[in-house]
Chain A
Amino acid sequence: MWPYLERMEALLDRTLAKLNKDTTMAIEQFIDNEVKNNDVVLFMKGTPQFPMCGFSGQVVQILDYIGVPYKGLNVLENEDLRNGIKGYSNWPTIPQLYVKGEFVGGCDIVREMFQAGELQSFLKEKGLPVKETASA
């Protein structure tokens, strides 16, 4: 009886571990596709229309001000995505901004770059449409 239970337990453990690994890989693949197939992607809490966190809201405001088109992905809709994106770029917080598949930064870095006018020139260098403003 006991050896049988132990074998069952071990089997269950292996199955669960494999499921977890499959989920992690699927999420990684999903993120990879999103950041490679969209020029500008923002992983955020809430949506560009309704940010659910002040840090995400700040980045939305900056991107809208600059006028660059972007895709917002709401991590609050999917716990696996929320955890997966932290592992993807070894970055513990959300929001996260990606341009042409490259991780640019979180809220602090995006704000700092925007205030220095670097974000606009960076996007232009990448060939992305940016609204012309008098001066940033």
Chain B
Amino acid sequence: MPMDANEIERLIRSGIPDAHVTIRDLAGDGDHYAATVIAASFKGKSRVQQHQLVYQALKGEMGGKLHALALQTGTPEG
């Protein structure tokens, strides 16, 4: 079953409270999303670690219910 964009955003925020989350539904099918997650708490972390934090927040939905989520992460200053 596809996942709602609001649900994805809610999950990410619950795991990373200071995150600014932008989600785009790429194909309009509720199954292929692109998410940009910007958080000050990412500072000093590698890209891999930042993505891992987002995947953790998604509580195992990534790769399962959430089939395709293109992810871009960063800190507020870029």
Contacts and interface: CB of A to CB of B under 8 A. Distances in A.
A121 interface: no
A112 interface: yes
Interface of B is mostly: mixed
A36 interface: no
Among B47, B60, B63, B68, chain A packs the most CB atoms within 10 A around the CB of: B47
Contact of A91 (B55, B64, B68, B70): B55
Given A86-B63, A92-B62, A105-B48, A112 B72 contact: yes
B52 interface: yes
Interface string B43-65: 00001100110010000101110
Interface of B: 47-48, 51-52, 55, 60, 62-64, 68, 70-72
